Amino acid sequence: MERPDAPPDVVIRRLPLYARSLRYLLEEGVHSVSSQELGERINVTAAQIRKDLSYFGEFGKQGIGYDVEKLLNHIDHILGLTHHWPLVVVGVGSLGQAIARYDGFQTQGLRIVGLFDSDPDKIGQMVDDLTIMDYSRLHAVISEHQARLAVIAVPATRAQEVADMLIEAGIRAILNYAPIILQTPDDVWVRYIDPVAVMHSLTYYLAREQGGAEVKRR
């Protein structure tokens, strides 16, 4: 099969979903799964799963399926989740607090090592067992933990400035919740979570339906 050297980003984005499904299966006591069964759980075809995984080697046996635990370990290894990644969160409004409290950010290969805000009233307050710190501490905390990951949860007007500070301090990958596209160097990864934009893409389809136009769904 012809195959480029590096798996495309869309494959990398699906791997965590495979891993999560495998984790759920393991919790349910399921130890073997076919690509068909795994696919049905995540609305991906069996062929897609096999193709995605083929970038990383040979998994599963024809007619037998995948060993759930082995495949999960493989994917965790591919994703670098064999150890915990320290990360910092900047902006501790309602959203930043929700992130700090969400155990998915404190387990599953991630560990929040610093919460930061510019509001003097918030600094020193605790969110669970983390203390909110001033931006002046950013550099030291990032260096100390060798953090490479950050979450930005500040308003749009402050996000670029915060991104610049983070990158200056050594951050190489950013999850940005602020509704603005960041300008960053080529060696920094940025992903966006933008619920309002997602909602607006849904209203498009709902509006078409109400207008009587034919719409194809995914």
State yes or no: residue 148 binds its own copies (CB under 8 A).
yes
Interstrand relation of 126-127 and 130-133 (parallel, antiparallel or unpaired)? antiparallel
Among 108, 130, 137, 169, binds its own copies (CB under 8 A): 108
State yes or no: residue 47 binds its own copies (CB under 8 A).
no
State yes or no: residue 29 binds its own copies (CB under 8 A).
no
Q: Which segments of the chain are extended strands (E)?
A: 32-33, 66-67, 85-90, 110-116, 126-127, 130-133, 149-152, 173-176, 189-192
| Integer Cα distance of 158 and 180 in angstroms | 10
Q: In terms of residues, how long is the chain?
A: 218
93 is in an annotated binding site: yes
Between 66 and 85, how does the x/- string for binding to its own copies read (CB under 8 A)? ------------xxxx---x
State yes or no: residue 169 binds its own copies (CB under 8 A).
no
Q: How far is the CB of 45 from its own copies (least distance, A)?
A: 13
State yes or no: residue 30 binds its own copies (CB under 8 A).
no
| Integer Cα distance of 183 and 96 in angstroms | 22
Cα 184 → chain centroid: 19
Q: How far is the CB of 153 from its own copies (least distance, A)?
A: 9
The DSSP 8-state label assigned to residue 189 in this structure reads E
35 is in an annotated binding site: no
**For residue 5, what are the CA distances in angstroms to 75, 91, 129, 157, 186?**
18, 38, 43, 39, 20
Q: Which among 102-110, 116-124, 134-142, 159-167 is the span making contact with its own copies, rule CB under 8 A?
A: 102-110
Binding site for its own copies (CB under 8 A): 6, 9, 12-13, 15-17, 19-21, 24, 41-43, 78-81, 85, 87, 93-95, 97-99, 101-102, 104-105, 108-110, 148-149, 151, 156, 172-173, 175, 179-181, 186-189, 191, 193-210, 215-218
